[in-house]
Amino acid sequence: MLNLLARAFTGSMLALPYRLRVPFAGWLMARVLGPLAGYNRRARTSLALAMPELPEPERRRLARASLDNAGRVVIESYSGAAFIASLGGRLPEGPGMAALAQARAEGRPVLLVSGHIGNYDAWRGALAASGLQVGALYRPASNPWVNAHYTRAMARISAPLFARGRQG
């Protein structure tokens, strides 16, 4: 059932033009799918435990914003080339970029680590589009059918992929 819902969501969103698909996926997740699945309530409960001083309206706002972001990230990650094109050729910035450029020039591999902030595939897609081979370590989905299309979507951004655990 989860696989059918995931495929219905991604399939219907992918039928839309990219510029409409991403905000609509966020809206749909924040206002329909997330609340139906109980994610909104779970987020508000977690926020109340972590930040009891936070007023309830702010917890509601943060929970909705979090679900909106989740919907956007999911459909961006499934959008492959359109997602990479939306990055506009921009590269990550920061003090580590000089070390990355030096390692690239010397033909040395590097290990990059990212948090789940915004779209964690953005830096991977941007670096791959610039010509770097960028792999990804990922946690396999517990549902094998979901995992199959999830890994295909990730591979459209960059490969190789390494499953966390003994197989990866």
Domain map of the chain by residue range? 1-79, 89-168
d(CA 130, CA 139): 25
Burial of 167 (0-12, 13-18, 19+ CB in 10 A): exposed
Q: Are 143 and 3 in contact (CB under 8 A)?
A: yes
> Residue 167: its pLDDT value, please?
66
Tens place of pLDDT per residue across the chain (168 aa): 778 888 899 999 999 999 999 999 999 999 999 999 999 999 999 999 999 999 999 999 999 999 999 999 999 999 999 999 999 999 999 989 999 999 999 999 998 888 777 898 999 999 999 999 999 999 999 999 999 999 999 999 999 999 988 765
Q: Per the confidence metrics, is the pTM higher than 0.85?
A: yes
How many Å apart are CA 122 and CA 78, to the nearest integer? 12
Residue 115 CB contacts under 8 Å (≥ 6 apart), including other chains: none
Q: Give Cα 4 distance to the centre of its chain.
A: 20
